[in-house]
Amino acid sequence: MTPKSGTQDTSPILSVRDLKVHFAIPGKGLFAPDRQLKAVDGVNFDLYPGETLGVVGESGCGKSTLGRAILQLIAPSGGQVAWLGKNIVGSPHREMQPLRRDLQIIFQDPLASLNPRMTIGEIIAEPLVTHKPELGKEEIKARVKRMMARVGLLPQMINRYPHEFSGGQCQRIGIARAMILEPKLIVCDEPVSALDVSIQAQIVNLLQELQREFDLSLIFISHDLSIVRHICHRIMVLYLGNVMELADRDNIYANPRHPYTKALISAVPIPDPEIERNKERIVLTGDLPSPISPPSGCVFRTRCPFAKDKCASEVPKLDRVSDTQEVACHFHDSL
């Protein structure tokens, strides 16, 4: 299924400005000062109602940390996260609690994210018990059964435990738990990476169906650019906690402007054997630098085949190169 067009003619439901998440790392010596691990280092983007934003990049680029910081599960070091126009960074627990109804997350490991001592009925019902204590037991049970059926689980399984289900079924339980409060935003933290390919397609299609039905906004974190292309309206490319490129789905695949984006897309397999054999491949050399001591200037310059002196001395800004594309590269016009 092809995702519907973004709704950028409306106000954003979420606005992130200069978001930073830095962790203090103890120094190596007895009196050595702490060092800063810059997991997320100045991220900016907007998310619109009914839109899916894909977040891609190598392991260690800050994707999951970004998702948790948006939900205030990790305290940001700086910047703003405006939910429906209100900055929620630093909000006390009593102010965040009612917002949790609209802000949910689906985790990468479906089984590890479920309490093995609770039945799946109790797991799915837990958000209702927490946020809607006025509901009676029978009403909660009825809502849980309806949501189970909606995500493809048999309602009669309500008293079973997570270990009795497959990985795909456990992820459906996680989706039901996230959906039971009918939220406005769900952060999907690599929700299909632990599943078989055939099951991945089912879960992605389920998320798209729920998005249309409930007018959900999604932030979809993934390594798999094929899946991201299938489900997302726009795609944000992260590298060492920095945005390298942000563009709509079709534009970023047809006309990537940043060298890192080009390398990621060149690694995506193409089903046609002839095209796959003859396509241009961009192989990056070297390892991902440590976020404790990132390169000066452009953080990608140590692996970029087009790096010049300017890249070492100046941090590239995220420039708008078209109505639907932004890129952080000094030389994107000449690549």
DSSP helix/strand/coil, 181: coil
Q: Rounded to two decimals, what is the model's pTM?
A: 0.91
Q: Which residues, in sequence order, are CB contacts of 90 under 8 Å at separation 6+? A: 75
Q: Determine, yes or no, domain membership for 41.
A: yes
Whether 282 is in a domain gets the answer no
197 located within any domain? yes
Q: Does residue 68 sit within a domain? A: yes
Burial pattern 4-38, b for ≥16 Cβ within 10 A else e, equals: eebbbeeebbbbbbebbbbeeeeeeeeeeeebbbb
Q: The domain spanning residue 150 has which CATH number?
A: 3.40.50.300
- What is the secondary structure of 48-85 as a DSSP string? -TT-EEEEE--TTSSHHHHHHHHTTSS--SEEEEEETT
Report angle CA 39, 42, 45 to the nearest 5 degrees.
115
The reply to whether 95 falls in a domain is yes
Print the domain residue range for 48.
14-25+35-258
Q: Give the residue carrying structure tokens 């909000």.
A: 91
Number of domains in the chain: 1
156 falls within a domain: yes
The answer to whether residue 110 sits within a structural domain is: yes
Per residue of the chain (335 residues), what is the pLDDT tens digit?
344 444 556 899 999 999 999 999 888 777 788 889 999 999 999 999 999 999 999 988 999 999 999 999 999 999 999 999 999 999 998 999 999 999 999 999 888 899 999 999 999 999 999 999 999 999 999 999 999 999 999 999 999 999 999 999 999 999 999 999 999 999 999 999 888 888 999 999 999 999 999 999 999 999 888 899 989 999 999 999 999 999 999 999 999 999 999 999 988 777 767 766 777 777 788 888 989 989 999 999 999 989 999 999 999 999 999 999 999 999 988 87
Whether 295 is covered by a domain: the verdict is no
